[in-house]
Amino acid sequence: MLTLVPTPIGNLSDITLRALQTISKADIILCEDTRVGKKLIELLIERALLELPEDMDTRLFIESKQFLSFHSHNQDDFIAQISPDMFQSNVVYLSDAGTPCISDPGAKLVSWAIAHNLAFDVLPGACALNVAFCGSGIESTPFIFVGFLPHKRLERQSKLLQLAHLHMGEAYSAICYESPHRILETLQDIALLLPHTHIIVQKELTKLHEQRYYGSAGEILSLLEGSIIRGEWVIVFDFAFDKTQKEQTLSYEEALMLDIPPKVKAKILSKMSGKSIKQCYEEMLK
């Protein structure tokens, strides 16, 4: 039997009773990082959340489980080497934090189980995606989950423009994850390309220093000035439906992505925005 088990994204108390029961009964535990998986179990025991059998201490409990690495870099090789016989034991897959398959490995393992007609279960639990959406204040609308935005700036800018021009026929939102190393660059891109879009930026969800910021990207950048940038971030875009999106006109963002000589592009952008040609040219070079 294979069971996918979500783990807390910051607050250990968010572990579920079913998750604790499943970990306790596991014979084999697949982890993105076995060190992280073992440390999580140690902390759950230390906080009296995971109850040990009477004849075991923490060390013996952990040694009674077989820990195997299963992550994005080895998953293809791992799956190629396993057999259905392995799942006659209780096999658990733990993500480092959050729900498996949501911007984490696990989907290929589930596909393999389906292809081999193997029983599996997916436990509900902590996920930054739904916590962030609920904290956005956006009424239930269609939303797009992007995962992590591209690392390279031009690819990221292209993705942002794509998200802003989806033909949903109604109000919609988009949700993406971002690392502390790129959050400021991403907000700068949003401020440049989507200056009027309302966004909700949330960091370190469920942790002691959890924080939420509401407004345009420019406004949020001002709020973050001088702040220590730590932890994982979630950005929620509120793309309110606007009939003018249906008009066959070229937006500033689309003009910015045109493959034309920079000086010509700067002149076009200047006319569209009211900014100076020099300012538009400098923005393109950032």
Check which CATH number belongs to the domain holding 209 and give it: 3.30.950.10
Residues 168 and 234 in one domain: yes
- Cβ contacts of 271 within 8 Å, gap of 6 or more: none
Inside any domain, residue 247: no
Residues 6 and 118 in one domain: yes
pLDDT over 80 at 144, yes or no: yes
Residues 116 and 8 in one domain: yes
Residues 71 and 118 in one domain: yes
Range of the domain at 66: 2-122
Residue 241: which pLDDT band, with cuts at 50, 70 and 90?
low
Decide: residue 267, CB within 10 A, 0-12 exposed, 13-18 middle, 19+ buried. Answer: middle
Inside any domain, residue 279: yes
- What percentage of the chain carries pLDDT values higher than 70? 97
DSSP 52: P
Q: Which pairs with CB-CB distance under 8 Å and at least 24 residues apart come from 239-242? A: 239/163, 239/164, 239/166, 239/168, 239/171, 239/172, 239/173, 239/174, 239/197, 240/171, 240/198, 241/168, 241/169, 241/170, 241/171, 241/172
Structure confidence at residue 220 (pLDDT):
97
Residues 230 and 171 in one domain: yes
Give the domain-ending residue among 122, 146, 161: 122
Residues 172 and 262 in one domain: no
Inside any domain, residue 246: no
Residues 150 and 65 in one domain: no
Residues 67 and 162 in one domain: no
User: pLDDT (tens digit, 9 = 90+) per residue, 57-104?
Assistant: 999 999 999 999 999 999 999 999 999 999 999 999 999 999 999 988
Inside any domain, residue 69: yes
What is the number of structural domains in the chain? 3
Structure confidence at residue 247 (pLDDT):
42
Residues 179 and 217 in one domain: yes
Structure confidence at residue 248 (pLDDT):
46
Check which CATH number belongs to the domain holding 62 and give it: 3.40.1010.10
Inside any domain, residue 245: no
Residue type, 244: T
Inside any domain, residue 270: yes
Inside any domain, residue 112: yes
Structure confidence at residue 244 (pLDDT):
40
Inside any domain, residue 77: yes
pTM of the model: 0.81
Q: Where are the alpha helices (DSSP H) in 26-150?
A: 34-46, 58-63, 75-81, 107-115, 128-134
User: pLDDT (tens digit, 9 = 90+) per residue, 121-143?
Assistant: 999 999 999 999 999 999 878 99
* Average pLDDT of the segment spanning 252-264: 78
Across the chain, the runs of DSSP E, i.e. the strands, are 2-5, 28-31, 66-69, 91-94, 120-122, 143-148, 172-178, 198-203, 211-215, 233-239
